[in-house]
C-alpha cells in the first residue's frame, strides 16, 4: 500500500520523453537474443493492480502456452502513472478503460490488431457496443465502447466506428454498488440516498479515490434529488460544486466514520462494524463474508456504477515478445481464465468460452442468478456460498443491464481534484 | 608543491558528501521548483513559466476571508497537530531524558533503558499505527473495558478516526526523536554545575529551569526540528488514524500526484517547504545550534 515511487516523478518524466532510451530498449529485445536461445521461454512483465492478478492464472498460462508471466503489482493510480512515465517497464498492461482518456493521448500504448485476436467477435457486447442482451445500458462516464477503437494503430484519437485497432482487450468488468451490514441495519436498503441518511450518522464511508468517489457521490446526489446531471461521468463545474457541497454538509454533520483508499481498509471498516454502509468493491464484500460476517453487495434502484479493465500493449513491444503477448491474450480469452474470473464474482470478456469451463450449477449461480444447487466454491477451492443462496443483484443480464454510469475521467478533472481536496479539508 | 596539495585536500575530502547532497538533494529540489512553474494536462507536463499552480494553491484565499480557504484550513489543521505533538513530545522527551541522565546512577542501566525507548521503533511506522485500531475502535479493547466497567453504555467514538487518535499516534511515533538529542545534550552537562546550583541554594525547579534547560537548548532545538518537519510533512499517520477525514498538506500533494498533476503538486511542495523553513528559522532565532555544538 505504501507507494514506493513518489520521489522521482520529475526525473522520470524527463526520461520518459527520451526516445533514445525507448529505441535502445526496443533494439535489445529484437537483436539482443543470440539465435541459440531462440527456444528459451519468453517472459512477459504484466503490469496491473493486485486484484487483476492471480498466481493460478499465471501458472496455467505457463503450462499451456509456455510463456512466463511476471506480475508487476501497483495501485490503480500507479498503473496509469507507470504507463505515462515509464512505458518501457512492462510488456503487457491490464488497466482500466477510464484511464484511456489520459493514456491514449500520451502515445505510449499502441492499438491491438483485431485480426490477431481470435475471439474478437465474441467479446461481450457490454464492452464493445454498450449493450446487454440486445438492450442499451447506461452510457454516462467513460463507457468502454466509447474508447474501444483507435483511428490508426499509433493514433491518439478514438474512432467512433469499429476499426481494426483496439485500445484494450477486456479482461474483467463489473458493476459496483454500496456494501451494507444487513445484520446491523435490519431493514431493506433500496437507494443510493441511504448513504447520507442521518440514520447512519458516523457509520457511513465513501472511498477517497477522487475519480471514483465523485461518481458514488453523484449517484447519491441524484438519488436524493439534489442535482440532475447531464452526464455524471463528465460533470460541469457547477455540478461538481453542488456534488461536493452535499458531501461537505454531510461530513460536517458527522455522517462519515472514515474514508478509505484501499481494498483492505474497506474490508476492515465493514468487518469491525465501524461502518454499516459504504462504497465497496465486490471482492471486498466476499472477503468480509469469508470472515463469517454478514455483508451484502446491495442492488439499488438507481443502478450500478460500472468499471472495466483490459489488456494494452506498450508502443515499444516488438518481435517475439509481441507475438507472445498476442498468444497470451488469445489464451486468456479462451475460457480457463474467464471461468476463474467469473468464480471471483467478476465478469469474463468472452462469456461463451468461460461457460464451457464452468460446471452448469456454477454458471447458473454466478451468471443466471439462480439459487446455488450445491455449495459454491471460490476459485481457490474455499467455500464461498452455501447451497440455496442467490448472488446479490442476480443474473448477469440484471446486474450489467442496470448499469447507470461508468468510472471516468472528466474534462474538468483538475477542478474536481481541487474541490475534492476542499471536501477532505472541510 | 606541498602547499598546492594541502590547499585542495579539504575540498577533495568534502567532495563525496557534497556530490551526494547535490545529486540527491539540491538537484531534485531544483527540479521540483522548476516544475512548479510548468503547465500540465492529464497525461503530460509542459515546460513553461507560469504562476497558475501557485495561484490555484491559494485559490480564493484572499476573497473568502474571514473564512479560511482550503490551503489555509489545511495548514492550520496541520499546524495545530504540530503544536500539540511538539509540546507533548517535548515534555515527555525532556522528562525521560532527565530521568535517564540524572536519576539513573549506573551507566549500564542508563544505556539499557535508553535502548528500551527505541524498541517500539524496531517495527515499521505503519504497523505501529495500525496496532492502535483494534485498541481504540468502536468495538475495540478500550471501549469494551469502558463498557465492561460500566463507565459508558455506548461505545466512545472519538477514540479512533479523530484528532485524538492522530495526536496519539504522532506522539507515539515521534517521542524518540525528542529523547535522543535531549539525552545527548544533557549527558554532556558538567555535574559540578548542578552541585554548584544546589550549594548556592537553588531549589530543584530553579536548577532545572536556570541550569539544565539552558544547557539542553541545543538538544531541544534539534529534537524540535525533527518532530516539526516529520509532522508537517506527514500524511500517512493523519490519513490512517484520522480515517482520511482530516486534511494534511502531504495528503493534498499525494492526491495531486496520483491524479498526475505534477506541477501543482510541486507548487504545493514548495509552499510546504517554505512553511517548514519559516518555522525552523524562527526556532533558530532562539538557539544558535552551530555555536552550541
Q: pLDDT tens digit string along B82-135?
A: 999 999 999 999 999 999 999 888 989 998 998 888 887 788 877 888 788 889
Domain containing A251 equals: 178-302+395-425
A contact residues 393-422, partner B, Cβ 8 Å cutoff: 409, 413-414, 417-418, 420-422
CB contact under 8 A, A11 and B74: no
Q: Give SS3 for B127.
A: helix
Q: Hey, what's the cell of B11? A: 575540498
In a domain, B2, yes or no: no
Task: Report in angstroms the alpha-carbon separations of B140 from A263, A379, B123.
Answer: 21, 33, 22
Q: Does pTM surpass 0.95? A: no
Q: Which pLDDT score is estimated for A26? A: 40
Residue A37 has pLDDT above 50, yes or no: no
Q: How far apart are the C-alpha atoms of A266 and A343, rounded to whole Å?
A: 21
The percentage of residues in chain A with a pLDDT greater than 70, rounded to a whole number, is: 91
Instruction: Say if residue A102 is in the same domain as residue A119.
Output: yes
Q: Give SS3 for A109.
A: strand
pLDDT band at B4 (very low <50, low <70, confident <90, very high): low
The answer to whether B106 and B112 are in contact (CB under 8 A) is no
A contact residues 209-228, partner B, Cβ 8 Å cutoff: 210-211
Instruction: Say if residue A223 is in the same domain as residue A289.
Output: yes
Poorest-confidence range of A32-36, A179-183, B16-20, B202-206?
A: A32-36
Q: Hey, what's the cell of A426? A: 472541510
Instruction: Say if residue A167 is in the same domain as residue A187.
Output: no
Average pLDDT over residues A201-213: 91
In a domain, A366, yes or no: no
A contact residues 224-263, partner B, Cβ 8 Å cutoff: 251, 256-261
Q: Hey, what's the cell of A406? A: 461508468
Instruction: Say if residue A287 is in the same domain as residue A403.
Output: yes
Instruction: Say if residue A252 is in the same domain as residue A313.
Output: no
Average pLDDT over residues B263-287: 91
Instruction: Say if residue A16 is in the same domain as residue A165.
Output: yes
Instruction: Say if residue A159 is in the same domain as residue A283.
Output: no
Domain containing B184 equals: 68-292
The answer to whether A93 and A44 are in contact (CB under 8 A) is no
CATH of the domain at B85: 1.10.3720.10
In a domain, A374, yes or no: no
Average pLDDT over residues B218-238: 92
Among candidates B137, B138, B262 on the partner chain, residue whose Cβ is nearest the Cβ of A10: B262
Q: Could you say which DSSP state residue A187 is in?
A: S
Among candidates A258, A273, A418 on the partner chain, residue whose Cβ is nearest the Cβ of B244: A258
Instruction: Read off the pLDDT of residues B248-260 as tens digits, 9 standing for 90 and up.
Output: 999 889 888 888 8
CB contact under 8 A, B243 and A257: yes
Among the residues of A66-155, which ranges form H helices?
76-85, 100-106, 125-128
Task: Report in angstroms the alpha-carbon separations of A12 from A16, A414, B122.
Answer: 6, 22, 32
**Contacts of residue A409 in chain B, CB cutoff 8 Å?**
42
Task: Report in angstroms the alpha-carbon separations of A357 from A5, A61, A212, A387.
Answer: 39, 15, 33, 20
Q: Which pLDDT score is estimated for A381? A: 77
Residue of A49, A210, A425 for testing the chain B interface, max B β-carbons within 10 Å: A425
CATH of the domain at A409: 3.40.190.10
Q: Which pLDDT score is estimated for B3? A: 61
In a domain, B174, yes or no: yes
Residue A23 has pLDDT above 80, yes or no: no
- What's the structural domain count of chain B? 1
CB contact under 8 A, A424 and B244: yes
If one counts every other C-beta atom within 10 angstroms of the C-beta of residue B118, the result is 11
Instruction: Say if residue A106 is in the same domain as residue A183.
Output: no
Instruction: Read off the pLDDT of residues B123-180 as tens digits, 9 standing for 90 and up.
Output: 887 788 878 888 998 888 999 999 999 888 888 888 999 999 999 999 998 999 999 9
Residue A24 has pLDDT above 90, yes or no: no
Q: Which pLDDT score is estimated for A13? A: 41
Instruction: Read off the pLDDT of residues B231-242 as tens digits, 9 standing for 90 and up.
Output: 999 988 898 899
Residue A308 has pLDDT above 60, yes or no: yes
Among candidates A106, A260, A426 on the partner chain, residue whose Cβ is nearest the Cβ of B43: A106
Instruction: Say if residue A147 is in the same domain as residue A266.
Output: no
Instruction: Read off the pLDDT of residues A168-188 as tens digits, 9 standing for 90 and up.
Output: 999 999 999 999 999 999 999
Instruction: Say if residue A247 is in the same domain as residue A344.
Output: no
Q: Which of B59, B35, B42, B44 is nearest to B259 (CA)?
A: B42
Q: Which residue spans within A192-252 are E strands per DSSP?
A: 204-207
Residue of B79, B255, B269 for testing the chain A interface, max A β-carbons within 10 Å: B255
Q: Which pLDDT score is estimated for A283? A: 81
In a domain, A367, yes or no: no
pLDDT band at B62 (very low <50, low <70, confident <90, very high): confident
Distance of CA A27 to the CA centre of its chain: 33
Residue of A9, A10, A201, A203 for testing the chain B interface, max B β-carbons within 10 Å: A10
Q: Which helix (H) or strand (E) holds A305?
A: strand A304-314
The answer to whether B152 and B146 are in contact (CB under 8 A) is yes
Among candidates B42, B247, B258 on the partner chain, residue whose Cβ is nearest the Cβ of A425: B247
Predicted complex ipTM? 0.79
Residue of B nearest to A17 (CA): B44
Average pLDDT over residues B40-47: 85
Q: Give SS3 for A304.
A: strand
CB contact under 8 A, A10 and B261: no
**Which is more confidently placed, B64 or B206?**
B206
pLDDT band at B293 (very low <50, low <70, confident <90, very high): low
CB contact under 8 A, B256 and A273: no
Residue A368 has pLDDT above 50, yes or no: yes
In a domain, A310, yes or no: yes
Residue of A nearest to B264 (CA): A414
Q: Is A158 exposed, middle or buried, given 0-12, 13-18 or 19+ CB atoms closer than 10 A?
A: middle
Q: Which pLDDT score is estimated for A363? A: 96
**Contacts of residue B256 in chain A, CB cutoff 8 Å?**
417, 421
Among the residues of chain B, which ranges form H helices?
2-21, 27-35, 52-57, 70-98, 107-116, 125-130, 133-136, 141-148, 163-187, 191-199, 204-207, 213-233, 236-241, 249-258, 262-286, 289-292
Q: Which pLDDT score is estimated for B292? A: 60
A31 at the B interface (CB within 8 A)? no
- What's the structural domain count of chain A? 2
Q: How far apart are the C-alpha atoms of A126 and B69, rounded to whole Å?
A: 43
In a domain, A195, yes or no: yes
The percentage of residues in chain A with a pLDDT greater than 90, rounded to a whole number, is: 73
Q: Find the helix packing angle between B262-286 and B27-35, rounded to 10°.
A: 120
Average pLDDT over residues B15-32: 95
* Mean pLDDT of chain B, nearest integer: 89
Q: Distance, in angstroms, between B238 CA and closest chain A CA? A: 12
In a domain, B28, yes or no: no
What is the dihedral sign for C-alpha A363, A369, A371, A375? positive
With b meaning 16 or more CB within 10 Å and e meaning fewer, what string describes B76-114? ebbbebbebbbebbbebbbebbbebbbeeeeeeebeeeb
Instruction: Say if residue A185 is in the same domain as residue A328.
Output: no
Q: Give SS3 for A95.
A: strand
Average pLDDT over residues A330-354: 94
Among candidates B31, B77, B244 on the partner chain, residue whose Cβ is nearest the Cβ of A10: B31
In a domain, B8, yes or no: no
Q: Residue B24: CB partners within 8 Å, gap ≥ 6?
A: none
Among the residues of A49-148, which ranges form H helices?
55-65, 76-85, 100-106, 125-128
A404 φ, ψ (degrees, to nearest 5):
-100, -35
Instruction: Read off the pLDDT of residues A251-290 as tens digits, 9 standing for 90 and up.
Output: 999 999 999 987 888 999 999 999 999 999 888 898 898 8
Instruction: Say if residue A285 is in the same domain as residue A314.
Output: no
A contact residues 302-361, partner B, Cβ 8 Å cutoff: none
Q: Which pLDDT score is estimated for A35? A: 40
Q: Which pLDDT score is estimated for A1? A: 37
Amino acid at each position: 500500500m505504501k507507494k514506493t515511487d513518489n520521489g522521482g516523478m520529475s526525473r522520470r518524466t524527463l526520461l520518459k520523453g527520451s526516445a533514445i532510451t525507448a529505441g535502445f530498449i526496443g533494439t535489445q529485445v529484437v537483436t539482443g537474443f543470440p539465435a541459440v536461445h531462440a527456444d528459451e521461454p519468453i517472459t512477459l512483465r504484466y503490469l496491473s493492480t493486485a486484484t487483476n492478478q492471480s498466481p493460478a492464472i499465471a501458472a496455467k498460462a505457463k503450462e499451456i502456452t509456455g510463456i512466463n508471466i511476471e506480475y508487476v503489482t501497483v495501485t490503480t493510480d500507479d498503473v496509469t502513472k507507470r504507463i505515462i512515465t515509464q512505458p518501457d517497464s512492462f510488456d503487457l498492461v491490464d488497466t482500466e478503460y477510464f484511464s484511456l482518456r489520459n493514456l491514449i493521448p500520451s502515445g505510449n500504448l499502441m492499438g491491438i490488431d483485431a485480426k490477431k485476436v481470435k475471439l474478437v467477435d465474441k467479446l461481450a457486447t457490454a464492452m464493445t457496443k454498450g449493450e446487454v442482451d440486445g438492450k442499451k445500458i447506461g452510457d454516462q462516464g467513460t463507457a468502454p465502447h466509447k474508447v474501444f477503437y483507435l483511428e490508426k494503430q499509433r493514433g491518439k484519437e478514438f474512432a467512433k466506428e469499429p476499426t481494426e485497432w483496439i485500445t484494450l482487450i477486456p479482461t474483467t468488468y463489473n458493476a459496483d454498488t454500496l456494501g451494507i451490514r444487513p445484520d446491523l441495519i435490519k431493514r431493506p436498503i433500496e437507494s443510493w440516498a441511504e448513504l447520507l441518511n442521518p440514520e447512519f450518522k458516523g457509520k457511513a464511508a465513501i472511498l477517497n479515490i477522487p475519480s471514483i468517489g465523485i461518481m458514488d457521490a453523484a449517484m447519491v446526489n441524484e438519488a436524493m434529488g439534489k442535482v440532475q446531471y447531464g452526464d455524471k461521468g463528465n460533470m460541469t463545474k457547477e455540478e461538481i460544486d453542488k456534488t461536493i457541497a452535499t458531501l461537505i454538509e454531510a461530513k460536517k454533520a458527522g455522517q462519515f466514520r472514515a474514508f478509505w483508499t484501499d481494498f483492505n481498509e474497506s474490508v476492515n471498516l465493514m468487518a469491525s462494524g465501524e461502518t454499516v454502509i459504504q462504497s465497496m468493491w465486490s471482492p471486498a464484500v466476499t472477503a468480509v463474508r469469508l470472515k463469517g460476517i454478514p455483508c451484502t453487495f446491495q442492488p439499488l434502484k438507481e443502478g450500478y456504477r460500472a468499471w472495466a479493465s483490459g489488456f494494452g500493449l506498450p508502443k515499444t513491444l516488438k518481435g517475439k515478445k509481441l507475438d507472445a503477448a498476442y498468444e497470451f491474450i488469445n489464451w486468456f480469452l479462451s475460457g480457463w481464465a474467464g471461468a476463474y474470473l467469473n468464480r471471483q464474482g467478476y465478469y469474463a470478456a468472452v462469456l461463451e468460452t468461460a461457460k464451457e469451463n464452468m460446471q452448469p450449477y456454477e454458471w447458473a449461480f454466478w451468471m443466471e442468478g439462480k439459487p446455488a444447487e450445491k455449495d459454491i466454491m471460490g476459485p481457490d477451492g474455499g467455500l464461498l456460498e452455501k447451497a440455496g443462496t442467490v448472488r446479490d443483484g442476480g443474473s448477469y443480464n440484471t446486474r450489467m443491464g442496470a448499469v447507470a454510469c461508468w468510472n471516468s475521467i472528466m474534462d474538468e478533472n483538475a477542478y474536481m481534484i481541487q474541490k475534492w481536496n476542499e471536501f477532505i479539508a472541510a | 608543491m606541498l602547499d598546492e596539495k594541502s590547499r585542495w585536500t579539504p575540498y577533495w575530502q568534502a567532495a563525496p558528501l557534497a556530490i551526494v547532497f547535490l545529486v540527491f538533494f539540491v538537484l531534485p529540489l531544483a527540479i521540483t521548483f522548476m516544475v512548479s512553474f510548468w503547465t500540465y494536462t492529464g497525461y503530460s507536463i509542459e515546460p513553461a513559466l507560469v504562476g497558475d499552480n501557485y495561484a490555484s494553491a491559494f485559490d480564493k484565499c484572499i476573497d473568502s476571508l474571514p473564512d479560511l480557504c482550503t490551503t489555509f484550513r489545511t495548514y492550520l489543521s496541520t499546524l495545530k497537530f504540530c503544536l500539540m505533538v511538539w509540546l507533548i513530545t517535548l515534555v515527555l522527551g525532556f522528562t525521560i531524558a532527565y530521568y535517564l541522565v540524572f536519576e539513573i546512577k549506573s551507566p549500564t542501566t542508563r544505556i539499557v533503558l535508553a535502548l528500551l525507548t527505541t524498541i517500539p521503533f524496531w517495527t515499521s511506522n505503519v504497523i505501529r499505527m495500525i496496532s492502535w485500531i483494534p485498541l481504540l475502535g468502536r468495538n475495540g479493547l478500550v471501549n469494551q473495558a469502558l463498557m465492561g466497567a460500566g463507565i459508558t453504555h455506548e461505545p466512545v467514538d472519538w477514540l479512533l478516526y479523530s484528532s485524538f487518535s492522530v495526536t496519539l499516534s504522532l506522539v507515539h511515533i515521534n517521542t524518540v526523536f525528542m529523547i535522543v538529542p535531549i539525552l545527548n545534550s544533557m549527558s554532556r552537562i558538567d555535574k559540578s554545575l548542578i552541585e554548584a546550583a544546589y550549594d548556592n541554594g537553588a531549589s530543584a525547579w530553579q536548577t532545572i529551569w536556570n541550569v539544565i534547560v539552558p544547557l539542553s537548548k541545543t538538544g531541544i532545538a534539534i529534537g524540535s526540528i525533527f518532530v516539526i518537519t516529520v509532522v508537517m510533512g506527514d500524511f500517512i499517520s493523519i490519513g490512517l488514524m484520522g480515517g482520511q477525514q482530516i486534511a494534511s498538506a502531504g495528503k493534498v500533494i499525494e492526491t495531486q500526484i496520483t491524479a498526475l498533476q505534477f506541477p501543482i503538486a510541486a507548487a504545493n511542495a514548495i509552499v510546504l517547504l517554505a512553511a517548514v523553513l519559516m518555522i525552523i528559522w524562527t526556532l533558530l532565532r532562539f538557539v544558535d545550534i552551530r555555536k552550541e555544538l
